[in-house]
Amino acid sequence: MKNYLSTEQAKVTACQLIKMKQNGEKIAILTPYDYTTAKILDDTGIDAILIGDSASNVMAGYTTTVPITLDQMIFYAASVVRGVKRALVICDMPFGTYSNPIDGVKNAIRIMQESQCDALKLEGGIEIIDTVKKIIELGIPVMGHLGLTPQSIHKFGTYAVRAKEEEEAKKLINDAHALEDAGCFGIVLEKIPAKLSALVSSELSIPTIGIGGGMCDGQVLVIDDMLGKNKGFRPKFLRVYADLHSVITNSVNQYITDVKAMDFPNSNEQY
Ligand code: KIV
């Protein structure tokens, strides 16, 4: 299996992701939430790492991303940052922390200073454009997020595919242009028709990153999902690369058996 980190390379920057699009090189992103996993991912040579607010679901077991707080996101982001030398590290601003430019700027500064990540991701289009501009003016790279925006789940009421109808698709295209004009370095397109993603990707000069968005300039997946840790979660867009649920279950069962049979620890495993 190819390892993409063949030589010691410098830190990936937000500008480099734009250059990758210009050069026709696809961008690979994954979302870990802890130091050890982040270190493994960084050692593969992955381009960027996102500390998604999906930590709310994956790490904390909430049904939505709404409950996770700024302090909790900073804790996860700081843990990940300590494990990464090379990949660009992007952190989600959690729900309610950028509902106006003043709060957005204050909370963006907190995340950058306390986690030491490299960039932030915000969900939304025209509605948050003033906040996005102010954060970028501070010198913080911002990634947008359109289509299915899980922080608005209570407004939409469903995690179904977005922008299937013309009116919503037109708004998404306008939002994508507004985010590019505001200075975003990329946009996540979540769960929208592949044709719409292709159109947006061809119109923008910044990279689009798909998750259920078809063939974009790059892809992002939640690490726990792509490693098959969450047995019941199999949305159409997900490719599962391992069966960690079985690996963990079988290993733990073997451990219980060994302990009960007094097979563990053996003489080599004692001081
Ligand atoms: O929170 C998250 O993990 C995300 C990705 C799914 C894009 O926003």
Active site residues: 190
Q: Which of 80, 148, 209, 220 to mutate to test the pocket of ligand 1 (most atoms within 8 A of CB)?
A: 220
Backbone φ/ψ region at 45: left (φ over 0), alpha (ψ -120 to 50), beta: left
Cα separation, 194 vs 241, in Å, equals 22
Q: How many domains, the chain?
A: 2
Taking the whole predicted model, whether its pTM rises above 0.85 is answered as yes
Question: What residue's CA is closest to ligand 1, atom 8?
Answer: 52
> Are 233 and 247 found together in one domain?
no
Q: Are residue 125 and residue 252 in the same domain, yes or no? A: no
State the pLDDT at residue 232: 84
Are 254 and 142 within one domain? no
Ligand 1 atom nearest 53 alpha carbon? 1
1 in a structural domain: no
Task: State both tokens at 187.
Answer: 């946009």
Q: Which pLDDT band, with edges at 50, 70 and 90, does 5 fall under?
A: low
Mean pLDDT over 6-12 rounds to 76
Range of the domain at 252: 243-271
- Domain assignment present for residue 8? The answer is no
Q: Residue 206's pLDDT is what?
A: 98
pLDDT at 8: 63
In this structure, the residues whose C-beta lies within 6 A of any atom of ligand 1 are 31, 52-54, 92, 188, 190, 211, 220, 222
Q: Do 34 and 103 reside in the same domain of the chain?
A: yes
Asked if residue 135 and residue 64 are part of one domain, the reply reads: yes
Query: Do 203 and 236 fall within a single domain?
Result: yes
Quick one: what percent of the chain has pLDDT higher than 70?
Answer: 97
- Determine how β-strand 119-121 pairs with β-strand 218-222: unpaired
Residue 7 in any domain: the answer is no
Model confidence pLDDT, tens digit, residues 79-121: 999 999 999 999 999 999 999 999 999 999 999 999 999 999 9
Gap from CA of 4 to ligand 1 centroid (Å): 23
Please state, in angstroms and rounded to a whole number, the distance separating the CA atoms of residues 179 and 193: 20
Query: How many A from CA of 264 to the centre of ligand 1?
Result: 40
Residue whose CB lies within 8 A of the most ligand 1 atoms, among 64, 153, 197, 211, for a mutation test: 211
Q: Is 268 exposed, middle or buried (0-12, 13-18, 19+ CB in 10 A)?
A: exposed
179 in the same domain as 86: yes
Q: Looking at ligand 1, which atom is closest to the CA of residue 121?
A: 8
Sort 111 into a burial class: Cβ within 10 Å, 0-12 / 13-18 / 19+.
Answer: buried
Q: How does pLDDT run across 132-187, given as a tens digit for each residue? A: 999 999 999 999 999 999 999 999 999 999 999 999 999 999 999 999 999 999 99
The whole-number pLDDT of residue 30 equals 98
CATH classification at residue 64 = 3.20.20.60
| 24-51 average pLDDT score | 98
Measure 212 CA to ligand 1 centroid, in angstroms: 11
Residues 161 and 228 in one domain: yes
The CA 73 to ligand 1 mean position distance, Å, reads 13
For residue 170, being part of any structural domain is answered with yes
Based on the fold, state whether residues 231 and 249 are members of the same structural domain.
no
Whether residues 127 and 41 share a domain: the answer is: yes
User: Does the residue 2 lie in any domain?
Assistant: no
For residue 6, pLDDT over 60 is answered with no
Return the half-sphere exposure (C-beta side, CA atoms, 13 A cut-off) of residue 268: 0
Q: Is 129 inside a domain boundary?
A: yes
Q: Which atom of ligand 1 is nearest to the CA of 54?
A: 1
Out of 76, 188, 189, 197, give the residue to mutate to test ligand 1, the one with the largest number of ligand atoms within 8 Å of its CB. 188
Per-residue pLDDT of 198-235, as tens digits, reads 999 999 999 999 999 999 999 999 999 999 999 888 99
Residue 3: inside a domain, yes or no? Answer: no
For residue 7, the model assigns a pLDDT of 57
Tell me, in angstroms, the distance from the centre of ligand 1 to residue 134's CA. Answer: 23
